[in-house]
Amino acid sequence: MSDMATVHAFQARQLWHEAGWRSDATFAVDERGRVAHMESGTPQYLDDWVLPGMPNLHSHAFQRAMAGLAERRGPSDDSFWTWRETMYAFAARVDPDTLQAIAAQLYVEMLKAGYTQVCEFHYLHHQPDGTPYAQPEAMSLALIEAAREAGIALTLLPVLYMSGGFDGRPLSPRQRRFGHDVDNYFRLLATLRKLESDDVRLGVALHSLRAIPEQSWRGVVESEALKTGPVHIHIAEQIGEVQDCIATRGARPVEWLFQHAAVDRRWCLVHATHLTESETAQLARSGAIAGLCPTTEANLGDGLFPLARYLDANGVIGIGSDSHISISPVEELRWLEYGQRLQTRHRNVAARHAGDSVGETLWRASLRGGVQAADMAIGSLEHGKRADFVVLDHDSPLLAARDSRSAMDSFLFAGNVPLVRHVMTRGRWVVRDFKHHDEARIAARYRSAMERLTNA
Note whether 391 and 46 are within 8 A (CB).
yes
Quote the pLDDT of residue 7: 62
Of the listed ranges 40-44, 189-193, 344-348, 441-445, the one predicted with least confidence: 40-44
Res 18 pLDDT > 60: yes
Interatomic CA distance for residues 364 and 236, integer angstroms: 25
**What rounded mean pLDDT belongs to the chain?**
94
- Cα 89 to chain centroid distance, Å, stands at 24
The phi and psi torsions of 145 (rounded to 5 degrees) equal -65, -40
Condensed to tens digits (0 to 9), the pLDDT of residues 51-104 reads 999 999 999 999 999 998 888 888 777 777 778 888 888 888 999 999 999 999
Average pLDDT over residues 373-399: 96
Q: Which domains does the chain have, with CATH numbers?
A: 6-52+379-439 (2.30.40.10), 57-374 (3.20.20.140)
Quote the pLDDT of residue 5: 43
Quote the pLDDT of residue 77: 75
Note whether 52 and 379 are within 8 A (CB).
yes
Condensed to tens digits (0 to 9), the pLDDT of residues 289-317 reads 999 999 999 999 999 999 999 999 999 99
Quote the pLDDT of residue 453: 85
Note whether 366 and 408 are within 8 A (CB).
no
Work out the pLDDT band at 242, boundaries 50, 70, 90.
very high
Average pLDDT over residues 423-449: 97
Quote the pLDDT of residue 6: 46
Burial class (CB in 10 A: 0-12, 13-18, 19+), 236: buried
Quote the pLDDT of residue 211: 97
Res 165 pLDDT > 70: yes
Res 41 pLDDT > 80: no
Query: Is 322 an annotated catalytic residue?
Result: yes
Quote the pLDDT of residue 40: 66
Interatomic CA distance for residues 54 and 37, integer angstroms: 23
Catalytic residue among 8, 60, 122, 271: 271
Res 439 pLDDT > 50: yes
Angle at Cα 423 formed by Cα 420 and Cα 428, nearest 5°?
170
Percent of the chain with pLDDT over 90: 87
Quote the pLDDT of residue 32: 93
Would you say how long the chain is, in residues? Answer: 456
Quote the pLDDT of residue 2: 38
Quote the pLDDT of residue 3: 42
Condensed to tens digits (0 to 9), the pLDDT of residues 112-156 reads 999 999 999 999 999 999 999 999 999 999 999 999 999 999 999
Catalytic residue among 302, 322, 388, 409: 322
Q: Which amino acid is at 301?
A: G
Interatomic CA distance for residues 167 and 180, integer angstroms: 18
Condensed to tens digits (0 to 9), the pLDDT of residues 310-338 reads 999 999 999 999 999 999 999 999 999 99
Query: Is 17 an annotated catalytic residue?
Result: no
Res 4 pLDDT > 60: no
With a CB cutoff of 8 Å and minimum separation 6, the contacts of 38 are 9, 26, 27, 28
Average pLDDT over residues 8-35: 93
Of the listed ranges 67-76, 166-175, 189-198, the one predicted with least confidence: 67-76
Quote the pLDDT of residue 326: 97
